[in-house]
Amino acid sequence: MRVLMLSWEYPPVLVGGLGRHVHALATSLAAAGHDVTVVTRYGDGAALDERVEGVRVVRAPEDPPLFPLTNHTLLAWTMAFNHALTRAALAVTVDTPVDVVHAHDWLVTHAAVTLKHHLGAPLVATVHATEAGRHQGWLPNDTNRCIHSVEWWLTYEARRVLVCSDHMRWEVSRLFDLPGGKVEVIPNGVDIQAWQAPSSAIARVRQQYAGSGPLLVYAGRLVYEKGVQDLIAALPRLRRRHPGLRLVVAGEGPHGDALRDEVKRRRLQRCVTFTGFLSQDQLPPLLGAADCVVVPSLYEPFGMIALEAGAAGTPVVAAASGGLAKLIEPGVTGMTFPAGDQDRLVEAVSSVLSDEILARRLARRAREVAAARYGWPSIAERTVAAYQRALRDEQVLQERLAAGAAPTVMPRIVVPEGNLLAQDAT
């Protein structure tokens, strides 16, 4: 299978879990004998075109005029990025046939649709999250509605839409009015060995951050929907129950300044450390050093960090939101609490910190489940099966067109008002 994969992040450019997912999937496909090319954005010091771990990686530098990527410039930046991405991908495919174009999230939609039609290859789209989901069903302004319309367009053009959980299948089917057979659930994977840090590295991190009390860790993007504000609000009560408790917040994002201000307002500076973004080498020792990894997400399509913490051998406490509700079995592979419920968060974390036997049992079972169900080779195999179904769908369509069937015209995208994910929404 010859796969052209499009992503706005890929090592060394990593923003969140998407880049790690694309990297693991691409290298697993290559290890299984498939010809994989990833076209992505350029990062300082990276090669423009190289083969790494069996994957050809082509990086597109930004076009002038250059401007920073912020919430206010996101749409303009995305359009400029897609021009550069399309040119880089077209140059790659001049002499190289492509069986499938695989797009990851809305930020590469314009390039993906252009390549689909130019190359005559079916488009497979992985929807890692949705704009409406990130805002609990609402699209509060024009930027949100624009992003939603691009997501709608991507899922319409795709022959197959891949999502990471049953919750996401429900979400994208509801938001974009997709037929049931078009959406497939393929979970994220994890490389167990990659998250096993040396004991010496774990000890150094523990000495650096933990002090004499227990250590909590949050790792992920600093955005409102990740719920870090609830964890910070719960911290004073947790410290009263567990003297000396400290929290490490690892990650970057637009909500970072507000979270730091909240820590100052609550006078928690001495017990909360913001590390910024951590590399793939730095994160496993931190997870391994924690007494508990907390995932307080208000919205979470899958919950990759919970899987990674389990692989690292650390118990997890997570909000029962989105994919996390199925990923974690309460009392077996972790502890859960209702999203946004700070009282229940305190109780769940305290149950782990107060019971060493429970904590060990949760961590051991989580690692066993991660190894048995979420290995990347099996995830890659399931993805190839989805590619093959997309190819068959494309062949059927081309045969119908050759027989004189009228081509379909994409309907006008109408963005409804109100909460798009409310149970009684129409």
- Structure confidence at residue 350 as a pLDDT band (50, 70, 90): very high
Which pTM does this prediction carry? 0.87
Residue range 277-315, pLDDT digits in tens: 998 899 999 999 999 999 999 999 998 999 999 999 999
Question: Which pLDDT score, from 0 to 100, does residue 354 have?
Answer: 97
Reported as a pLDDT band with limits 50, 70 and 90, residue 424 is low
Averaged pLDDT, 253-267: 96
Residue 411's pLDDT is: 85
Q: What is the pLDDT of residue 234?
A: 98
pLDDT at 79: 94
Please report the pLDDT score of residue 333 as a whole number.
97
Q: What does pLDDT average to over the chain? A: 94
Indicate the residue type of 189.
G
Comparing CA positions, the residue from 197, 169, 371 lying closest to residue 283 is 197
From the list 18, 21, 50, 19, the residue with the least C-alpha distance to 37 is 50
| Residue 423: predicted pLDDT | 59
The residues pairing with 295 across neighbouring beta strands, listed in sequence order, are: 318
Q: Is the pLDDT of residue 276 over 60?
A: yes
Residue 192: closest CA among 56, 298, 303, 307:
307
Q: What single letter denotes the amino acid at residue 254?
A: P
233, amino acid identity = A
Q: Residue for token digits 């060995």?
A: 193
For residue 113, what are its two tokens? 């649709």
Average pLDDT of 36-64? 96
The predicted-structure confidence for 73-87, as pLDDT tens digits, reads as follows 999 999 999 999 999
pLDDT band at 66 (very low <50, low <70, confident <90, very high): confident
Which element (helix H / strand E) includes 123?
strand 123-126
In this predicted structure, what is the pLDDT of residue 425?
45
The predicted structure's pLDDT at residue 407: 86
Helical packing angle, 17-31 and 304-312, nearest 10°: 70
Percent of the chain with pLDDT over 90: 85
Q: Which residue has better confidence, 386 or 408?
A: 386
- Where is 183: in which H helix or E strand? strand 183-185
- Listed in sequence order, the DSSP H helices in 66-128 are 74-93, 109-119
Q: Which helix (H) or strand (E) holds 306?
A: helix 304-312
Domains contained in the chain, CATH given: 2-189+376-402 (3.40.50.2000), 193-373 (3.40.50.2000)
- For range 390-398, the mean pLDDT: 93
Contact indicator for 5, 104 with CB cutoff of 8 Å: yes
Q: Which pLDDT score is estimated for 208?
A: 95
According to the 3-state scheme, what is the secondary structure of 237-297? Answer: HHHHHCCCCEEEEECCCCCHHHHHHHHHHCCCCCCEEEEECCCCCCHHHHHHHCCEEEECC
Write the pLDDT tens digit of every residue in 90-122.
Answer: 999 988 899 999 999 999 999 999 999 999 999
**Taking Cα atoms as reference points, which of 130, 129, 188, 185 lies closest to residue 162?**
185
- Residues 153-191: tens digit of each pLDDT: 999 999 999 999 999 999 999 999 998 789 999 999 999
Query: Which SS3 state, helix, strand or coil, does residue 370 take?
Result: helix
